[in-house]
Structure 1
Amino acid sequence: MTEKMEHYKERMAALQESGELSPETQSLLTEMLDELAEMNRSNKALRRVILKTGQGSAMSTRLRDALYE
């Protein structure tokens, strides 16, 4: 994901250099990139938590299946 974000930043910089971005548009794009970075960080943290809880719940799934039989 960071490669994509770097690509977006490069494209934004190129547009800014050519004068195709208004200050409002640049501000909006910067805000969106910041939000995207935060969501990416949050997503990674959630994945770690899910993986950790998944390891512990395997036993309870087996136990539950055994109880239903």
Structure 2
Amino acid sequence: MTEKLEQYKERLNLLQEKGGLSPESEELLAEMLAELTELNRSNKALRRVILKSGQGSAMSTRLRDALYE
């Protein structure tokens, strides 16, 4: 996902340099890119938490046997 973010940033910079965007469009795209960056960071943090919690919570043998019956 970080590659995509970098591509979006580059494309936005190119459009800004060319002057192909209105000020409102630039502001909107900058806000959207910032939000996408924050969501990506949050997603990574949540994935880390899920992976950590999954490693420590092994099902007990009795519970697993009861579920399979």
TM-score by length of 1: 0.85
Runs of 5+ in structure 2 lacking a partner?
none
Give the stretch that moved more between structures: 11-20 or 40-49. Answer: 11-20
Q: Which aligned runs of 4 or more in structure 1 are off by greater than 4 angstroms?
A: none
Runs of 5+ in structure 1 lacking a partner?
none
**Aligned residues with identical type, % of pairs:** 63
**Structure holding more helix per residue:** 1
Q: Once the two structures are superposed, what CA deviation does each residue of 1:33-64 show, in whole Å capped at 9, x if it has no partner?
A: 1000100110001001100111122x226542
TM-score by length of 2: 0.85
C-alpha root-mean-square deviation of aligned residues, in Å?
Answer: 1.5
How many residues get paired?
68
Does residue 27 (structure 1) correspond to residue 33 (structure 2)? The answer is no
Q: Which has the higher contact order (CA 8 A, sep 6+)?
A: 2
